[in-house]
Structure 1
Amino acid sequence: MLRLSTESATLRLAQPFRISGYVFETAEVLVVTLDDGTHQGRGEGAGAYYLGDDLARMLADVEAACAAVEARPTREQLRALMPAGGARNAVDAALWELEARRSGTPVWRLAGLSEPPRPIVTTFTVSADTPEAMAAVARGYARARSIKVKLTGELDLDLARVAAIRAARPDVWLGVDGNQGFARGELDALVAGLLPHDVSLLEQPLARGAEAELDGYRSAIPIAGDESLLTLDDIASAVGRFDVVNIKLDKCGGLTEGLLMAAEARRLGLGVMVGTMIGTSLATAPGFVLGQLADLVDLDGPTFLAEDRAPGVRYDDGLLYADAEVWGG
């Protein structure tokens, strides 16, 4: 038998983080530990705010599945035991790390990678603010190679934000995230306004549930699905609507499902992006493993925190490093 324990924490952000329709000042996370008496495995989940997957729900999901988890399910069995979301993500990560420590085999090898994880380019996100303030933040990311801009669905203001950031950082890859803030009728103007600023990705412009409105839409900028694409079951619906699938472990329920999603997206000819909710390095490290298989990586969650856990992931020269001592070794 395993012993499952939980710990919750409220993480304070260094600065308020604003997106379309929401401002974050703190983030609540759940940490799950699985102990077999000799080895321990850990995982952190934050859930997805727009699904109501908050700390209370995550705790309830873990409590409901506690006896089944302590009976040592496989990671594949866990997908049927718990619903997708932050709680399953935390338990799944704990199972991965526990197996790695029991077997002496690192998670990357258990996940089927052929070589140790390499440092990967990650985006650094600029929270919505005035154009001038956002440009200053972009300049502050002096060594960033990729920047993602949070938009709010205010078309003229959003285009001014992008123009200011591009002027401040003409050297970086630039993507924007609509966070469901736009209507279908605004897409042509949005895309036309983004093109002069060399924007390479438009993420989730329309609301979750409005995916069919993208049927037949041809965008000059690739469109990524985030809130619209939660789990493996959603990938097929992305074809003809999205060009890129943004996989987040807190949405899909963990690295096990994330690996399946990446493989299915590739099979269907879709690009693969790996993102994250706000969390500590313990939440980022499993995404780093999946990020080895991705075209785009957006794993800057710990950078928003007033204080991360130690040991933590590292950001240097626009790259993300996650050593085995952080998780999974």
Structure 2
Amino acid sequence: MRTLFATIDRFATRQPFVIARGTKTDVEVVRVELRQGEILGRGEGTPIYYLGDHALAALAALGQVQAEVEAGATRADLLDLLPAGAARNALDSALWDLEAKASGVRVWQRLGLPQPRPMLTAYTISLGDPATMESEARRVSGRELLKLKLGGEGDLDRVAAVRRVAPHARLIADANQSWTGLDIEALCHGLHALGVELIEQPLPAGADSDLAHLRSPVPLAADESLHDRTSLDSVVGRYRMINVKLDKAGGLTEALALIHAAGQRGLGVMVGCMLSTSLAVAPAFFAAMHAAYADLDGPLLLARDRACPLAFSGSDVHPPEPALWG
């Protein structure tokens, strides 16, 4: 017999985290614990606020399926029991962890993956004026891959300022839906000249048809427009890549299916994360083993992390140890 426990944890950010939609100084996450005898499986999900999700709603959703989960619902059952979101992600992750500990077989082994090694991850620089972003880029100038949060007007100046102090870094950019009314093609060419190799979500979700005939020298990646397999077909022909996040997909189980389906449609994959602790990023690490880009810096953006956290060294994130997850 299983027992399910769920709660809300709050974590402060290391410094204000600024994107085009606003500023965050803390994040609420939902933590799930599944106990089966002496074995404990854990998972974490971050509610995606722009989709209307929030921690109390996720907690309520978990309460509604508690009986089914404690009676033995599987990860496959969760796809019907809960919609994609933080609640399902936390529960799916806890089930993966429980299964690994019960069997003595690590998650990467269950997935047939090679022995995991440290992985290059992007490090995010918050949106700000050019001088502020330049200062932050100078502080982390040794990092190999920087992700720049952009906001519309003045974006070329922002990226140029970062490039001045990080001439050798690889750059990716995230517009967070902020380029409405701008000359997107000109922006893409300008960012290409500055060495940007990927641009996320230039327009609001739902306006993707405006990208169908865009000629961009930089690949565009769908983020807010792409959640799980149900939204995959809507981005084909408009984006060349997708950003897979476990909170959007509703867990590692759906994320892996989404990555496979994207590959069949010729789409490249980036695996990202929300503001979250190492407990949430651990399962995303294994999804990112299938991806061209990993953006798994969530724990680095928080003032504190879980016990037995992921190790970060240089520009790399290390695979999780069993004491953390999986």
User: Do they fold alike, i.e. is TM over 0.5?
Assistant: yes
Superposed CA RMSD in Å reads 1.2
* Residues in 2 aligned to 1:326 and 1:164: alpha-carbon distance in whole angstroms: 41
Cα drift, residue 326 of structure 1: 4.8
Aligned position for 2:48: 48
Residue 169 of structure 2 corresponds to residue 177 of structure 1: no
Aligned position for 1:144: 143
Specify which of 192, 195, 218 is matched with residue 195 of structure 1.
192
* Residues in 2 aligned to 1:140 and 1:322: alpha-carbon distance in whole angstroms: 25
What are the residue-to-residue correspondences of 1:153-232 with 2, within 5 Å? 153-154=152-153, 157-183=154-180, 185-232=182-229
String of CA shifts for 1:229-270, please: whole Å, max 9, x gaps.
001111222210111110000111000001001111111111
String of CA shifts for 1:58-109, please: whole Å, max 9, x gaps.
1111111111111212211111111100000000000000000000000111
Cα drift, residue 308 of structure 1: 1.0
Aligned position for 2:108: 108
Say if 2:89 and 2:252, in contact at 8 Å, map to a contact too: yes
- Structure 2 SS opposite 1:43: strand
Residue 315 of structure 2 corresponds to residue 311 of structure 1: no
What are the residue-to-residue correspondences of 1:276-287 with 2, within 5 Å? 276-287=273-284
2:190 corresponds to which letter in structure 1? G
Count the aligned residue pairs. Answer: 326
* Residues in 2 aligned to 1:326 and 1:191: alpha-carbon distance in whole angstroms: 44
- Structure 1 SS opposite 2:115: coil
Specify which of 267, 270, 274 is matched with residue 270 of structure 1.
267
* Residues in 1 aligned to 2:155 and 2:79: alpha-carbon distance in whole angstroms: 39
Aligned position for 1:13: 13
Say if 2:43 and 2:89, in contact at 8 Å, map to a contact too: yes
Residue 128 of structure 2 corresponds to residue 123 of structure 1: no
* Residues in 1 aligned to 2:5 and 2:202: alpha-carbon distance in whole angstroms: 39
Cα drift, residue 303 of structure 1: 0.8
Cα drift, residue 173 of structure 1: 0.9
2:61 corresponds to which letter in structure 1? D
Residue 61 of structure 2 corresponds to residue 64 of structure 1: no
String of CA shifts for 1:175-223, please: whole Å, max 9, x gaps.
1100011126520221122122011011000001111221222211100
Aligned position for 1:247: 244
Gaps of 5+ in 2: none
String of CA shifts for 1:10-47, please: whole Å, max 9, x gaps.
11111111100211111000100000122110000012
* Residues in 2 aligned to 1:16 and 1:178: alpha-carbon distance in whole angstroms: 18
- Structure 1 SS opposite 2:183: helix
Say if 2:199 and 2:220, in contact at 8 Å, map to a contact too: yes
Say if 2:245 and 2:274, in contact at 8 Å, map to a contact too: yes
What are the residue-to-residue correspondences of 1:286-301 with 2, within 5 Å? 286-301=283-298
* Residues in 2 aligned to 1:184 and 1:72: alpha-carbon distance in whole angstroms: 51
* Residues in 1 aligned to 2:234 and 2:281: alpha-carbon distance in whole angstroms: 27
TM-score by length of 2: 0.97
* Residues in 2 aligned to 1:145 and 1:268: alpha-carbon distance in whole angstroms: 29
2:312 corresponds to which letter in structure 1? Y
2:127 corresponds to which letter in structure 1? A
* Residues in 1 aligned to 2:207 and 2:230: alpha-carbon distance in whole angstroms: 17
Say if 1:276 and 1:284, in contact at 8 Å, map to a contact too: yes
Say if 2:86 and 2:247, in contact at 8 Å, map to a contact too: yes
Say if 2:189 and 2:218, in contact at 8 Å, map to a contact too: no
String of CA shifts for 1:42-61, please: whole Å, max 9, x gaps.
00001211101110111111
Say if 1:225 and 1:246, in contact at 8 Å, map to a contact too: yes
- Structure 2 SS opposite 1:148: strand
2:122 corresponds to which letter in structure 1? T
Structure 1 segments (4+ residues) deviating >6 Å: none
* Residues in 2 aligned to 1:221 and 1:197: alpha-carbon distance in whole angstroms: 11
* Residues in 1 aligned to 2:237 and 2:4: alpha-carbon distance in whole angstroms: 42
Identity %: 44
* Residues in 2 aligned to 1:44 and 1:180: alpha-carbon distance in whole angstroms: 26
String of CA shifts for 1:124-151, please: whole Å, max 9, x gaps.
0000112112112112224311001001
